[in-house]
């Protein structure tokens, strides 16, 4: 069990991590700190530089058994934090507003317990993933030949809007697949007094935007759910004397299933291409922030539900799948995986809000949950 001293030290760690956030792919200091903590705890194996800045630490049992992975994320968000707690970010424009500081702290707490009593069998792996926020980290880690093989993988995500002591968990889809489509329309400029001499994207935009936003959506609980969100739009230069010749459109595409994303991408690209052709424009596409759908394996979900029940966490299924995406989904291609959403409190600000702060009260329950699961699988 965690002692009162453990909890106090973990809270201090979480707040210090909150003060020193790092962006996706740049988590050098954070990764080094996690690796050092794992070595201090006597992990039997500590791997660094996995998929960039990823860290993986293993605690081995004496007997053969399952390889069980628990994941936390290293990265923060490019969002300025509102004035508030004493431990607010000291890095301008960057903050832990998704709770990854708390997720890392939970794994460190699990490491403390494992260091005091090793698993009986198999290996428990603590995985600190880089670049979750842009969907690049899991794929990079999975492509790294140094990454160990896992039989099971588990993750926690804090979930504001749900009471503490409750959680969302169900087999099947948990988080949607998503991808960012960045389109550049290219024509030709002219003087603002002679718009007829330009090839401007103005009219093309009036066709493209309504058509993209009108693509069928459906309910988020429907397997055919899909959603297109306009996130950025710009055209020409901020000047009164120029008829614009270029435009940039950024949209995020979401689907419940990976196979449905292929069709949505094709539909969205066709809308843009057809309009560009009619108006004599070029259209170039750049796809970014690609997330696979996150799907809970039935067996892994049942194990996680049993551990939740055993640690006094009330599980419900309403509200799943979420529209938001999660890079944990890619680990489902190599292991039986499941993610649970732990209630962070009904009155908490939403994730990615400028004033969100992971509740310290969630640290101990997350450690207890993961430790119970590790004991159930590895003894």
Residue 189 — φ and ψ, nearest 5°? -85, 165
pLDDT digits (tens, 9 = 90+) for 238-259: 999 999 999 999 999 999 999 9
| 246-255 and 177-186 beta bridge pairing | antiparallel
- Residue at token pair 């950024």: 250
| 336-345 and 166-168 beta bridge pairing | antiparallel
Q: Is the pTM value of this prediction over 0.85?
A: yes
Q: What is the pLDDT of residue 186?
A: 98
Q: What is the pLDDT of residue 9?
A: 98
pLDDT digits (tens, 9 = 90+) for 45-85: 999 999 999 999 999 999 999 999 999 999 999 999 998 88
How far is residue 160 CA from its own chain's centroid? 15
- Domain 177-290 CATH class label: alpha beta
Token pair in block for residue 193: 């007094």
What residues does each domain of the chain span? 4-174+294-378, 177-290
What's the rounded Cα separation, in Å, for the pair 154 and 160?
Answer: 20
The CATH superfamily of 4-174+294-378 is: Zn peptidases (3.40.630.10)
Angle, helix 363-378 to helix 4-19, in steps of 10 degrees: 110
What's the CA angle centered on 106, arms 102 and 112, to 5 degrees?
145
Residue 219 CB-density burial (10 A; 0-12 exposed, 13-18 middle, 19+ buried): exposed
- Bond prior to 321 in cis (omega within 30° of 0): yes
Contact 287, 184 (CB under 8 A): no
Across all residues in the chain, what is the average pLDDT?
96
pLDDT digits (tens, 9 = 90+) for 199-250: 999 999 999 999 999 997 777 778 889 999 999 999 999 999 999 999 999 9
DSSP secondary structure, 81-113, as one string: PPS--TT---STT-B--SSHHHHHHHHHHHHHH
Residue 206, helix vs strand vs coil: helix
What's the rounded Cα separation, in Å, for the pair 137 and 140?
Answer: 5
End-to-end Cα distance, the chain = 15
- Residue at token pair 């699961």: 373
pLDDT digits (tens, 9 = 90+) for 274-303: 999 999 999 999 999 999 999 999 999 999
Residue 16 — φ and ψ, nearest 5°? -70, -40
Token pair in block for residue 1: 């069990």
Residue 179, helix vs strand vs coil: strand
Q: How many helices (H) and strands (E) does the chain have?
A: 8, 16
Question: Cα dihedral angle (139, 145, 147, 148), rounded to 10 degrees?
Answer: 130
Instruction: Give the helix/strand (H/E) hosting 175.
Output: strand 172-175
How far is residue 296 CA from its own chain's centroid? 15
What's the rounded Cα separation, in Å, for the pair 366 and 341?
Answer: 10
Instruction: Give the helix/strand (H/E) hosting 363.
Output: helix 363-378
What's the rounded mean pLDDT across residues 127-132? 98
What's the rounded Cα separation, in Å, for the pair 241 and 150?
Answer: 61
What's the rounded Cα separation, in Å, for the pair 55 and 50?
Answer: 6
pLDDT digits (tens, 9 = 90+) for 325-365: 999 999 999 999 999 999 999 999 999 999 999 999 999 99
| Beta partners for residue 68, in sequence order | 124, 152
What's the rounded Cα separation, in Å, for the pair 36 and 254?
Answer: 38
Contacts of 315 (CB under 8 A, 6+ apart): 166, 167, 168, 169, 305, 308, 309, 340
């Amino acid at each position: 069990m965690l002692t009162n001293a453990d909890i106090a030290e973990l809270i201090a760690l979480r707040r210090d991590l909150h003060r020193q956030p790092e962006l996706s792919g740049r988590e050098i200091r954070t990764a080094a700190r996690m690796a050092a903590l794992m070595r201090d705890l006597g992990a039997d194996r500590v791997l660094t530089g996995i998929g960039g800045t990823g860290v993986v630490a293993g605690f081995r049992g004496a007997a053969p058994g399952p390889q069980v992975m628990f994941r936390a994320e290293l990265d923060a968000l490019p969002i300025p934090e509102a004035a508030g707690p004493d431990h607010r970010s000291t890095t301008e424009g960057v903050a832990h507003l998704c709770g990854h500081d708390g997720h890392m702290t939970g794994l460190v707490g699990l490491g403390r317990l494992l260091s005091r009593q090793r698993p009986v069998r198999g290996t428990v792996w603590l995985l600190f993933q880089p670049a979750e926020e842009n969907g690049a980290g899991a794929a990079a880690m999975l492509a790294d030949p140094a990454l160990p093989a896992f039989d099971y993988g588990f993750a926690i995500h804090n979930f504001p809007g749900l009471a503490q002591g409750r959680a969302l968990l169900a087999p099947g889809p948990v988080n949607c697949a998503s991808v960012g489509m960045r389109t550049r329309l290219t024509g030709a400029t002219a003087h603002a007094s002679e718009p007829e001499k330009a090839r401007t994207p103005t009219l093309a935009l009036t066709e493209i935007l309504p058509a993209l936003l009108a693509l069928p959506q459906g309910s988020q609980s429907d397997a055919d759910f899909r959603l297109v969100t306009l996130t950025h739009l710009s055209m020409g230069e901020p000047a009164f004397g120029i008829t614009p010749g270029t435009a940039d459109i950024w949209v995020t595409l979401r689907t419940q299933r990976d196979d449905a994303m292929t069709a949505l991408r094709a539909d969205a690209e066709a809308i843009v291409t057809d309009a560009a052709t009619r108006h004599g424009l070029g259209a170039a596409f750049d796809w970014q922030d690609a997330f696979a759908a996150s799907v809970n394996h039935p067996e892994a979900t049942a194990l996680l539900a049993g551990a939740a029940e055993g640690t006094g966490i009330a599980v419900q299924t309403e509200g799943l799948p979420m529209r938001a995406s999660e890079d944990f989904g890619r680990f489902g291609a190599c292991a039986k995986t499941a993610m649970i959403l732990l209630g962070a409190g009904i009155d908490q600000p939403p994730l990615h809000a400028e004033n969100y702060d992971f509740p310290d009260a969630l640290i101990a329950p997350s450690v207890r949950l993961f430790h119970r699961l590790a004991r159930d699988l590895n003894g």
